[in-house]
Amino acid sequence: MRPGVGQARPLATSMQVQPGSNEPAIEEGRKQMRKTLFGMDLAANRREFLKGTVGAGILLVGLSAARAQTEQGGTPVTGGHLKLGLDGGSTTDTLDPAGYISAFAFVLARSFGDHLVESDPVTGKPVPSIAESWESSDNAKTWTFKIRNDVEFHNGKKLTVDDVVKTLQRHSDEKSRSGALGFLKAIASIEGHGNELVVKLSESNVDLPLIFTAYHLVIQPNGGYDNPSEGIGTGPYKLVNFEPGVRALFEKNKNDWRERGHVDSFEIIVMNDATARTAAITAGKVHFVNSIGAKTVPLLKRVAGLQILDTPSRGHFTMPMQVDKAPFDNADLRLALKYAVDREAILKTALGGYGTIGNDFPINATYPYFPADIEQRAYDPDKAAFHFKKSGHDGPVVLRTADGIFSGAVDTALLFQESAKKAGIKVDVKREPADGYWTNVWRATPFCLSYYGSRLTQDLMYATEHLSDSPANETNFNRPDFDKIIKEARSEADDAKRAELYHAAAVMVRDEGGSIIPVFNNYLNAAGKRLKGYIHDVGNDMSNGYIASRVWLEA
Amino acid sequence: MSAQEETVSGQPGNQMSAARRGAPAPAAGRAARSKNSLGYLIARRMALGIALLFAASMLIFGGVEALPGDFATTYLGQEATPQAVANIREELGLDRPMTERYLSWLGGILQGDFGTSWSNHNSVGEQIWKRLSDSLLLAGVSALISIPLAIGLGMIAVLYRNRIPDKVISILSLAAISLPEFFIGYLLIQFFTVQLGISEFPATVYDGMSLGERLSAIVLPVATLVTVVLAHMMRMTRSAILNVMSSAYVETAELKGLSALRIIAEHAAPNAVAPVVTVIALNLAALVVGVVVVEVVFVYPGIGQYMVDAVTVRDMPVVQGCGLLFAAIYIVLNMVADIVSILANPRLRHPR
């Protein structure tokens, strides 16, 4: 079972993502956005990486992890104390995995806890962890996971199948406040048989192992029913001290059930101020900081020895047009606006070039089954003007945005206004307060700025953004034929057929849906020169949360 | 504040000692005396303070209520499904009317129960206490350094009035007062941490740190705070003493041949106490409750940060608890300033 993510350390080191790519622009770190970014999230499998700009150059990575060995490689060094300065922690943070919502909690969960399944950092495929193997039957409706019997919690208690069952039950309970509840709705029953976990679903889902990589699903003693916030897990590091909104201290778990983790101890210091993070990493007071602004990257590059860690992400900006509300119930008007977006300009200005161009469907090359052959929609004022005229719409279009819902939200709206003007379309940009934006503006008005973070699979991304019954279906897209395609893909075990279905879904959303998706942002982090072994994980930011157990400090 | 104005404006041309002038005429009788006794005044101020606290708590509650979105919607953010929102509202009792929620919170406070945070279920009282003690450390050290420094520099400025030391002090303090505090913070970080590498950063303090470690961690934020409040207090000291110095009794003292230092220390300073104490009190309050920006810049886990985090998600018990505490600190410090002013200047016991 060695290909486990946690121990992939000597393998893929850097995915060879260069300068000139992109980053997650979420630095303003509002609670809402943290929720979006990390609330659902993560992994999937991917071979190709969209590189550079127009989604043209495709870089084959990952075929073999060994190949990805790069400048960050070398022989791991054991020992030392690692310091991470992270944005996103808050005094309102909890140790209960059900309530995790921040970058801070994400790294915390991945360090002290283990999950049933992990995902490969390069391919995104599910790999064993607490579950050493699994199989499905009944058309992916019944799943059997074999649970390891040599795993011990930090309190010395042995991990049993019952702990796993209880964990899943607690998160999937209807009344649960768990951030993972949304993915677990199809679970009909959870049972333990000997050393096996049997999960029955109400509908087929071939992605179930990947769903179990969700970072909320930390396996806890008795599933966390006794004390969800005790911070006891089976992970590579033990939680020694936790002060919400301040810091968390960890030490190596000497009784770890597998070999992983290089540093003896590490701490996460909450640093919500971008300048404080920059100062700390520049002065060498921490080894790693997350979420650096695209605009500071050129300055940081001048600092000797500083590494900029730039990783493609699944997060994307959207401008949802509600397809059932006038004037956006007019397909020509929607098309006109899609052609009126200058994606290059948004990438350059709002993201400083650290991202990739979107094609009006919510999937990029970091997801498996990415339909790479769909033609890239480009800025075309003539076509925009043509469709605008054909739509018969008269007068301005109102676009709502707010400063601080995510970084780049206002820039994007203004750039759109500018590029639409050249096509003869007048866009009124209306600024709303960021407070309450997700309740009062998003989904409540027909055209606004919005953002989606990383999801574990294509299925979950579409299920969130475009399925007719999703509460986050921001365009009110309601197409039974689309819903059917997504459900079919969910139960399709054949890779080729599945890819076909996702291709059809993407085309439908791109051409008939209400989403304008101009750009995907990159994760932008920085590390000091001593930090080595950072793995650019396709799953999510900060090496999919596993940063602390994957990196080492060179003397 | 009224104390300060009266002292300053009440001076001109008055040759008698302030105390004597303020003494009640014997005819005014006992009633006036008991009504104006110090105890009565203090009791009245305290009653007023409590009423103010009450009003402040209502204002805070109303203010947070008026913000768009409640805890359920802001906490869930983009994932606020109607069902999830309803679950949280029901769990926290947000569906009850506003007055009822306010009264039940008030009931808890009267029994000393600050409640638990809605987001992480920690005890608000415990958290406030912990955060407050961190903030007090920062504020206390800053005050210990800045107050004597401000008064000393103020006196030096007066002593060398319109000469070079006075001008240097004035220019520097004006410069310090003009720079925003976060900018001073960044300058200090840039110079001492990034360039010279001699100071600690971030200034995060946590359990298990010794006092020495804490003190070394907070050097830069303290320096920032001292810079910010020093100028204000120093200038007030200087102008208050100068004001007194221009009065006739100081002139008399000068004519008597007393040394400049003695005139300042014995005759001018006691009469300048009231305005100085007022400005010190205000600055102390600002040090405790108003340092959010400095806390953020230096990654210091103080109470300001705690409240800001809570406001972001509308975590009402925390916001209310912190708000009440801030109001209490302001009110108490102002009260102390008033009382000290009254002690220093008995005329103030007899408002006209």
> What is the complex's ipTM, to 2 decimals?
0.75
Sequence-ordered list of residues with C-beta below 8 angstroms from that of B127, at least 6 positions apart, any chain: A91, B117, B306, B318
User: What is the pLDDT, as a whole number, of residue A52?
Assistant: 28
Cα separation, A357 vs A63, whole angstroms: 24
Cα separation, A43 vs A458, whole angstroms: 9
Task: Place B62 in a pLDDT band, splitting at 50, 70 and 90.
Answer: confident
Contact A31 B75 (CB under 8 A): yes
Are residues A395 and A425 in contact, defined by beta-carbon separation less than 8 angstroms? no
pTM of the model: 0.80
Helix axes B219-245, B164-178, angle to 10 degrees: 130
Cα separation, A133 vs A4, whole angstroms: 12
**Cα–Cα–Cα angle for B261, B266, B270, rounded to 5 degrees:** 120
**Cα–Cα–Cα angle for A367, A371, A373, rounded to 5 degrees:** 140
Task: Place B27 in a pLDDT band, splitting at 50, 70 and 90.
Answer: very low
Closest-CA distance, A507 to chain B, in angstroms, reads: 26
Q: Which residues of chain B from 179 to 208 reach within 8 Å of chain A, CB to CB?
A: 186, 189-190, 193-194, 197, 200-202, 204, 206-208
The overall average pLDDT reported for chain B is: 81
Whether residue B87 has pLDDT greater than 90: no
Burial class of A542 by CB neighbour count within 10 A (0 to 12, 13 to 18, 19+): buried
Residue A73, Cα to own-chain centre: how many angstroms? 25
User: What is the pLDDT, as a whole number, of residue B39?
Assistant: 81
User: What is the pLDDT, as a whole number, of residue A511?
Assistant: 95
Chain B residues close to A94, C-beta within 8 Å: 119-121
What tokens appear for A213 in the block?
């990589």
Contact B305 A245 (CB under 8 A): yes
Please tell me whether residue A455 adopts helix, strand or coil conformation: strand
Residue of B nearest to A175 (CA): B87
User: What is the pLDDT, as a whole number, of residue A270?
Assistant: 92
Are residues A553 and A263 in contact, defined by beta-carbon separation less than 8 angstroms? yes
Contact B87 A39 (CB under 8 A): no
What tokens appear for A423 in the block?
């096509």
Contact A279 B88 (CB under 8 A): no
For the segment B31-41, what is each residue's pLDDT rounded down to a tens digit? 445 556 778 87
Phi and psi at A258, nearest 5°, equal -150, 165
Query: Between B351 and B232, whose confidence is greater?
Result: B232
Contact B204 A91 (CB under 8 A): no
Say if residue B202 is preceded by a cis peptide, omega within 30 of 0: yes
User: What is the pLDDT, as a whole number, of residue A528?
Assistant: 94
Average pLDDT over residues B119-137: 86
User: What is the pLDDT, as a whole number, of residue B97?
Assistant: 86
Closest-CA distance, B208 to chain A, in angstroms, reads: 10
User: What parts of chain A have a pLDDT lower than 70?
Assistant: 1-73
Contact A436 B81 (CB under 8 A): no
Are residues B339 and B42 in contact, defined by beta-carbon separation less than 8 angstroms? yes
User: What is the pLDDT, as a whole number, of residue A55?
Assistant: 29
Are residues A411 and A419 in contact, defined by beta-carbon separation less than 8 angstroms? no
Cα separation, B105 vs B325, whole angstroms: 15
Phi and psi at A331, nearest 5°, equal -60, -35
- CATH topology assigned to domain B124-242+273-348: MetI-like fold (1.10.3720)
Which DSSP category does A375 fall into? Answer: P
Closest-CA distance, B237 to chain A, in angstroms, reads: 35
Cα separation, A399 vs A407, whole angstroms: 17
Are residues A553 and A286 in contact, defined by beta-carbon separation less than 8 angstroms? no
Across the strands, what pairs with A455? A41
What tokens appear for A58 in the block?
């495709």
Across the strands, what pairs with A309? A525
Give the position of tokens 């197409």: A479
Cα separation, B247 vs B238, whole angstroms: 15
- CA contacts within 13 A on the Cβ side of B27: 0
Strand A187-193 with A142-147, pairing: unpaired
Chain B residues close to A472, C-beta within 8 Å: 78-79
- CA contacts within 13 A on the Cβ side of B200: 18
Q: Residue A34 is inside which H or E element, if any?
A: helix A31-39
Whether residue B14 has pLDDT greater than 70: no
C-alpha to C-alpha distances, B32 to B35, B260, B345, nearest whole angstrom: 5, 39, 17
For the segment B245-297, what is each residue's pLDDT rounded down to a tens digit? 888 888 898 899 988 888 877 887 778 888 888 888 888 888 876 677 888 88
Indicate the residue of B77, B299, B309 with minimum beta-carbon distance to A90: B309
Chain B residues close to A279, C-beta within 8 Å: 186, 189-190, 193-194, 201
Q: Which of B64, B65, B79, B306 to mutate to test the interface with A (most CBs of A within 10 A)?
A: B79
